[in-house]
Amino acid sequence: MVKERYLGVDVCPLNMGQVLLEVDRIIMERKPSFIVAINPEKIMKAQEDESLKNLLNSATIQIADGVGVVIASILNGGRIRSRVTGIDLMINICKRAAERGYRVYILGAKPGVADEAVKVLKERFHGLNVVGVRDGYFKDEEEVIEDIKRKNPDILFVAMGSPKQEYWITKHMERLQVPLLMGIGGSLDVISGNIKRAPKIMRKLGLEWLYRLIKEPWRYRRMSVLPVFLCKVLRERFKR
Ligand code: UDP
């Protein structure tokens, strides 16, 4: 697959359906692979952090999670035209898992939140086989790793915030031997109903960031990177 590259960070030009086909392939081939969500904030952070840049680029699939990445692709004559958000992909993977019998393990969020999210997911997708659930505030890492290995899932979702979850995934993925690993950030808080997502209309219009800004104004620092990111992408394009 030919990836697009923005300020040195790879992004896959895949839509939701295409990513799901890749998920099937990864689970069939069983070679440990991981999916990371890319947004302008992460790309900007990676400008000052080479190990973060390498980490993001070492993922098997980088999804275009932020609307800023779609705009960058349009400005650059790339092929990315729609977001594949981490939470939408996670939910779609769970749907697929229920249909195809994939075994799912969920690790992360505060005690009780993941259990609540699993309840919601199981109600929505009958037959979803969740083989293990753990909160993300464990002390004994070895015990968690042994539990995951014992339960032998096809898919491991890790919800410990980014990039902590991605560092955790890459550190342990060879040992875990789980085919598909994916960091899902705060998705369990949303699915469990602890945090509300933007209304559908705002999401469709690419305004989810505005909703989050209103709800969680302290995030404004994180979001203010968008214009700087787009200027840098344009500068990079004209240099070429
Ligand atoms: N979290 C965790 N363990 C930690 C730190 C964070 O399980 O050591 C969880 C936290 O409870 C929350 C999620 O990770 O559910 C982070 O969500 P946030 O929205 O900050 O992540 P982002 O999507 O911005 O990466």
Predicted confidence at residue 87, as pLDDT, reads 95
Atom in ligand 1 nearest the alpha carbon of residue 108: 7
Q: What is the C-alpha to C-alpha distance for residues 52 and 232, in angstroms, rounded to an integer?
A: 19
Residue 136: helix, strand or coil by DSSP? coil
pLDDT of 182 > 90? The answer is yes
Distance of CA 213 from the midpoint of ligand 1 (Å): 18
The ligand 1 site (C-beta within 6 Å) comprises 108-110, 136-137, 159-162, 185-186, 188-189
Distance of CA 186 from the midpoint of ligand 1 (Å): 5
- Report the nearest-CA residue for atom 1 of ligand 1: 160
Give me the mean pLDDT over the 226-232 stretch: 94
pLDDT (tens digit, 9 = 90+) per residue, 84-124?
999 999 999 999 999 999 999 999 999 999 999 999 999 99
To test the pocket of ligand 1, the residue of 107, 113, 160, 220 to mutate (highest count of ligand atoms within 8 Å of its CB) is: 160
pLDDT > 90 fraction of the chain, expressed in percent and rounded: 84
pLDDT of 63 > 90? The answer is yes
Q: What is the C-alpha to C-alpha distance for residues 210 and 173, in angstroms, rounded to an integer?
A: 35
Give me the mean pLDDT over the 127-135 stretch: 98
Return mean pLDDT, the chain. Answer: 94
Distance of CA 107 from the midpoint of ligand 1 (Å): 11
Predicted confidence at residue 178, as pLDDT, reads 98
pLDDT of 239 > 90? The answer is no
Q: What is the C-alpha to C-alpha distance for residues 107 and 16, in angstroms, rounded to an integer?
A: 23
Give me the mean pLDDT over the 127-149 stretch: 97
- Report the nearest-CA residue for atom 16 of ligand 1: 161
Atom in ligand 1 nearest the alpha carbon of residue 110: 11
Distance of CA 236 from the midpoint of ligand 1 (Å): 32
Name the E strands within 12-60.
33-38
Atom in ligand 1 nearest the alpha carbon of residue 137: 3
- Report the nearest-CA residue for atom 18 of ligand 1: 186
- Indicate the pLDDT class of residue 216, thresholds 50, 70 and 90: confident
- Report the nearest-CA residue for atom 15 of ligand 1: 109
Q: Would you give the end-to-end CA distance of the chain in angstroms?
A: 22
- Indicate the pLDDT class of residue 203, thresholds 50, 70 and 90: confident
44 Cβ contact list (under 8 Å, min separation 6): 7, 225, 228, 229
The verdict on pTM exceeding 0.75 is: yes
- Which CA distances in Å does 26 have to 21, 30, 81? 9, 6, 24
Give me the mean pLDDT over the 202-221 stretch: 81
Distance of CA 160 from the midpoint of ligand 1 (Å): 4
Predicted confidence at residue 112, as pLDDT, reads 96
